[in-house]
Amino acid sequence: MRKKLLSAVLIGAMASSLLAGCGSSAQQSAAGAGTKAVSGETKAAGDGSKTIKIGAICSLTGGSAIYGEGAQNAITMAAEEINSSDSEYKIEIVNGGKVVDDASDAKQAINAYNSLMKESPDAIVGCFFSSVTLPIAEQASKDNMLLLATGATNKDVTLKGPSIFRDCFIDPYQGKMAAQFAKEKGWKKAAVIYAKDDDYSNGLKDAFIENAKANGIEVVYTGECTTKDTDFSSQASQVVAKGADFLFYPCFLDTVPLLVGAARDAGFTGAIMGGDGWDGADTKGVEDKFDNCYFTNHYSSEDTAPAVSNFVSKYKEKYGTESLNACAALYYDAVYMIAEAAKNAKATDTPSLIKGMTKMTFTGVGGTFTLDENGDPEKSVAINTFEGGKVKWLMTLSPEGTKK
Amino acid sequence: MTFSLFIQSLINGLNQGAIYALIALGYTMVYGIIRMINFAHGDFIMIGSYTLFYTIPLMINAGMPPWLSVFLAIVICAGTGVVVEVVAYKPVRKAGAMSALITALAMSLFLENLAMVLFGAKPRNIQKIFDLPSVSVFGTSLPLNVVLTIGIGIFMMAALQLFIKRTRMGKAMRAVPQDRDASILAGINVNKVITVTFAIGSGLAAVAALMYCAKYPRVTNDMGSMMGLKAFIAAVLGGIGVIPGAMLGGILVGLIEIFVKLFAPGWYEAITYAILIIILLVKPSGILGKNAGEKV
């Protein structure tokens, strides 16, 4: 799965290098956009334009179409809310208010980006997947375009340039939060099983081990596996033999039922935890084994915090629950963050927005967070558990500790 | 290593090994009769598993124990095996061993991708097949379905051995690889023998699928490829074509994997294959293989 992602990224990299030919034209048009932005700035300084033009990219077709639907609804809703409020700055979604499709494909994503740039937006929101966001981030940083990535959790995205930000946490951050959760629960001896052939898994594992020590948790066993493995009985019996009371398994959903089954069969009764890769894991037939299992995620619609319940109830009323996912919440926050950046900088042109966005502190559906020097947020994570095999929100954990 | 950890791993290894052994029996059987390595054999397990996935809920609804689905799976796997043999393998049999091997590889890929189109790439969970309790042995929990898997493996091996040694069809099966032309002269219908061999080998895959799914309740379209490869290695290790060898090889590969994984989980495949190479260097025909040169 990750390999596919990697190859998609590589293809993206190739595509962007191939596009170097037309890249010059893209850059020219981007430069054109830049001069326009500059003229926009003078205009902003002159007549004080109060409208922020935002372009949005997400996946509208294919298997991930449900994310694009959520994103479209969320940005429309956020723009309507801001425009009908007494906010000084108004939002205009370019491309006639429509999200542009990246088809979950790196090459398509660059096309989507170029088509948006023709409308000379002040900021771009997207994408949801790291593989498609990376090439866009590359180009956006060349164009000095503000890119606010939503679901792209790969840590390299914001390292592409100072104009790239995101409103989701980065992958390894979940390892840190898992360690914090274990500390709050009073678990002392942790075991880790991770897929050594997977970047995501390695990132979470390293962050977990580093932070476990800082939180006074002893890591008693570290076992490797691969993303293709089906047998975890050896690792599971080592977990039991080392007396661990907590097992961290930062891998993807398809092997989660096998790992949980193997651990329970080996007599492990402690907590088992994973990251957002667990979201959507199939618990059918092994429901009872998923008791005392947890995973971190971007947000949960069951969260009782006012900002979340407000967003959830408004969204449900307008669009129903089907497309109400983490993606919608992240795009919703993204529009508000750009409006906030305009307020901070008191202008709507791109350089001002970038200045306003840098190191901003923001409160929204994703909780209260501050962007660090890379443009990544240290934000709350939702911790989900299982009840009778069904995912259930347990708590929202903020980096400073439990607030609720 | 504590004693209980050792016992636990021994049990895990035997369980894994018994599954490999059941698959290896299918490889060895086909190879023993027609000297052909059926690389699609692993994918017959996938077919058996999907049959289980779709029929177990029916069994439960009808109030019958879920493992009865295995009989349906045996029928479907045996049917697929025969169809594959008649449609794909039989026409190329005269063209030589290499053509047959390539056809088998192509068949394996075809079946995997057909399954992806038909059933999707998403892994499916299989419901609990055996509701057996765990018993405590030497301070470790021993799930009884592990005992059952090992028991079924030994039973299948013994039954197969009896079938080949004691029945007329078995005798014919032993005669065909020795001299095909002489077998025909002796009145053996070689094509029928080969078809029956495929039916039995594929039926064994369905039993292996049952035991696999009891331990790892998940079906994917590509589950057969890696498992098939390991079982093939087990068959070669034990001496391909020798039925007790498949059992021995399977158990050995399972035990080696589990024990290596216990201490160096990242290394288990490298070490397993290294051991295979070493054993074959010492005894090229496999542990129980006859050293007499094969007429190829």
- Nearest residue of B to residue A241, measured between CA atoms: B5
Q: Is residue A24 within 8 Å of residue A93, measured between CB atoms?
A: no
Beta carbons of A241 and B216 less than 8 Å apart: no
Beta carbons of A230 and B257 less than 8 Å apart: no
**Partners of residue A267 in chain B, C-beta under 8 Å:** 140-141
Q: What is the distance between the alpha carbons of residues B81 and A338, in angstroms, rounded to a whole number?
A: 62
| Separation in Å, CA of B52 to nearest CA in chain A | 14
Which pLDDT value is given to residue B222? 86
Q: What is the distance between the alpha carbons of residues A171 and A180, in angstroms, rounded to a whole number?
A: 15
DSSP per residue, chain B: --HHHHHHHHHHHHHHHHHHHHHHHHHHHHHHHH----TTHHHHHHHHHHHHHHHHHHHHHTTS-GGGHHHHHHHHHHHHHHHHIIIIIHHHGGG-HHHHHHHHHHHHHHHHHHHHHHH-SS-EEPPP---PPEEEETTEEEEHHHHHHHHHHHHHHHHHHHHHHHSHHHHHHHHHHH-HHHHHHTT--HHHHHHHHHHHHHHHHHHHHHHHHHHS-EE-TTHHHHHHHHHHHHHHHH-TT-HHHHHHHHHHHHHHHHHHHHH-GGGHHHHHHHHHHHHHHH-TT-TT---SPP--
Rounded to 5°, the CA angle A14-A20-A25 comes to 145
Nearest CA to B32 out of B219, B236, B191 is that of B236
pTM for this predicted structure: 0.77
**Partners of residue B257 in chain A, C-beta under 8 Å:** 231
Q: How confident is the model at residue B295 (pLDDT cuts 50, 70, 90)?
A: very low
List Cα–Cα distances, B156 to B24, B153, B205, in angstroms.
Answer: 12, 5, 11
Q: What is the distance between the alpha carbons of residues B228 and B43, in angstroms, rounded to a whole number?
A: 7
List Cα–Cα distances, B199 to B75, B97, B158, B165, in angstroms.
Answer: 9, 21, 18, 18
| Separation in Å, CA of A268 to nearest CA in chain B | 11
Q: Which residues of B touch A (CB under 8 A)?
A: 2, 4-5, 8-9, 12, 15-16, 122-128, 134, 140-141, 143, 216-218, 220, 223, 226, 257-259, 261-262, 265-266, 268
Which pLDDT value is given to residue A24? 40
Which pLDDT value is given to residue A128? 87
Which pLDDT value is given to residue A225? 92
| Separation in Å, CA of B213 to nearest CA in chain A | 11
Beta carbons of A241 and B128 less than 8 Å apart: no
**Partners of residue B218 in chain A, C-beta under 8 Å:** 230, 254, 257-258
Other beta carbons within 10 angstroms of residue B159's beta carbon come to: 10
Q: Which residues of A touch B (CB under 8 A)?
A: 196, 223-225, 228, 230-231, 233-235, 237-238, 241, 254, 257-258, 261, 265-267, 282-286
| Separation in Å, CA of A143 to nearest CA in chain B | 39
Could you read off the pLDDT of B30-47 as tens digits, one per residue? 888 888 888 899 999 999
Beta carbons of A285 and B16 less than 8 Å apart: no
Query: Which distant-in-sequence residues (6+ apart) come within 8 Å of A342 by Cβ?
Result: A52, A89, A348, A352, A353, A356
Which pLDDT value is given to residue A399? 77
Extract the tokens encoding A306.
Answer: 């006012």
Which pLDDT value is given to residue A14? 54
Which pLDDT value is given to residue A9? 56
A224, A238, A286: residue with CB nearest B217: A286
- Nearest residue of B to residue A259, measured between CA atoms: B216
- Nearest residue of B to residue A237, measured between CA atoms: B5
Extract the tokens encoding B170.
Answer: 């078995």
Which pLDDT value is given to residue A330? 92
B2, B16, B128: residue with CB nearest A285: B128
Which pLDDT value is given to residue A6? 56
pLDDT, mean of each 10-residue run, chain A (404 residues): 56 50 40 40 50 92 82 94 91 92 88 92 90 91 93 87 91 88 91 89 91 91 89 91 92 88 89 88 85 89 87 92 86 94 92 92 88 88 90 84 50
Mean pLDDT of chain B: 87
Which pLDDT value is given to residue B106? 93
Beta carbons of A257 and B12 less than 8 Å apart: no
Could you read off the pLDDT of B46-91 as tens digits, one per residue? 999 999 999 998 888 888 888 888 999 999 999 999 999 999 988 8
Which pLDDT value is given to residue A403? 46
The ipTM is: 0.84
Residue with the larger pLDDT of the pair B145 and B229: B229
Which pLDDT value is given to residue A13? 53
- The burial class, CB within 10 Å (0-12 / 13-18 / 19+), for A51 is middle
Q: How far apart are the first and last CA of chain B?
A: 47
Beta carbons of A266 and B259 less than 8 Å apart: no
B8, B124, B257: residue with CB nearest A237: B8
Maximum distance among all alpha carbons in chain A? 72
Which pLDDT value is given to residue A32? 40
Inter-chain CB pairs, A–B, below 8 Å: 71
pLDDT over threshold 60, residue B292: no
Which pLDDT value is given to residue A30? 40
B125, B143, B266: residue with CB nearest A265: B143
B2, B259, B266: residue with CB nearest A224: B266
